[in-house]
Amino acid sequence: MVAERRAASELQAKLRSGQFVITAEITPPVSTDPAEFLRRAMPLKGLATAVNVTDGAGAKVHLSSLATAHFLVQSGIEPIFQMTCRDRNRLALQGDILGAASLGIRNILVLGGDDPKAGDQPETKPVYDLDSRTLLAMAHRMRTENALPTGTKIDGPQLRLVLGAADVPLDPPPGWEPNGLKAKIEAGADFVQTQFCMDVGVVRRYLQRLADAGVRVPLLIGVAPIPSARSARWMREKLYGTIIPDAYVERLERAADPKLEGRKICIEVLRELAEIPGVAGAHVMAPMNFAEIPVVITESGVAGRRLAHAVH
């Protein structure tokens, strides 16, 4: 049907079009006032195709991701609503999916969520009623059947969702197969955003292994304007799966202005990623350094660039 082929969001439309797509990520503040969140997000309007809002990042409390995604919709910015399995059972997850759709939120990134023991309230009991693959499958079934898993019909307009999954690129060892990523795609993932991978050599080898395994999905590689060598080391140590080459850490160490050097490195990586077959775009993250995100997007000049090998 024509309606089924029509893109459900601008993100999906651009991923299908064969343009190099850039998404960004904003962490909501600990506040009841959306002004600070919007101050962080508004510079991305017109630059990023869509903006992720994190859901209890670091297993710490922030302004609700559903509320902040709604503030983005109201401000003319397309959100990617992050949902973790850590904090909600399936009833709450289904309710929030309906809530998101009712608020005009179409893109959902499904995540497991950071372990509460890593946060500032380590006594918190995690829920994990579903894992990320099962949540993807549930959301996919809801949009396909326009019904709850119980069979109860969902009233109102057709549930049109664009489902995303997370991935951690690696330098694939002999015999490695992308079984986890395959399972998420089979469950219904329409696009994938990755952990920080600033090594384009690793990206090339990883993408080649995915191609060899028949995996075909729009992949947005995580990058960052890293403000210092200390930050780079912390990211590699604390953020699971982060890949930052030693050469970049050394450049940051030697630089007279590490923040400017981090910006240059991120721009270089973005430009190289835009030339790699199988890379659909980049996901720019800069926790506590949000002002750098629109700068690297603008100065890289890659947003919207036509890809020679588009992934649909």
CATH of domain 2-300: 3.20.20.220
Q: How far apart are CA 114 and CA 30, in angstroms?
A: 17
Q: Look up residue 308 and give its DSSP letter.
A: S
Residue 154 in contact with residue 95, Cβ under 8 Å? no
Low-confidence spans in the chain with pLDDT less than 70: 1-4, 308-312
What DSSP assignment string belongs to 154-187? --SS----EEEEEE----PPTT---HHHHHHHHH
Locus of tokens 């659909």 = 280
pLDDT at 287: 82
pLDDT tens figures, 141-195: 999 999 999 999 999 999 999 999 999 999 999 999 999 999 999 999 999 999 9
DSSP category for residue 76: T
Helices (H), the chain: 2-5, 10-17, 35-41, 65-74, 90-102, 132-145, 179-187, 200-212, 229-238, 246-254, 258-273, 292-300
Torsion over CA: 111, 98, 69, 4 (sign):
positive
Confidence at residue 11, expressed as pLDDT on a 0 to 100 scale: 98
Q: Is the alpha carbon torsion for 271, 55, 70, 103 positive or negative? A: positive
The two counts, helices (H) then strands (E), for the chain are 12, 8
pTM score, whole prediction: 0.95
Residues shown for the chain: 312
Q: What pLDDT is recorded for position 206?
A: 97
Integer angstrom CA distances of residue 152 from 138, 142, 159: 14, 10, 14
pLDDT score of 1? 34
Closest CA to 66 of 34, 18, 22: 34
Q: Note the pLDDT of residue 308.
A: 62
CB atoms within 10 A of CB 201: 11
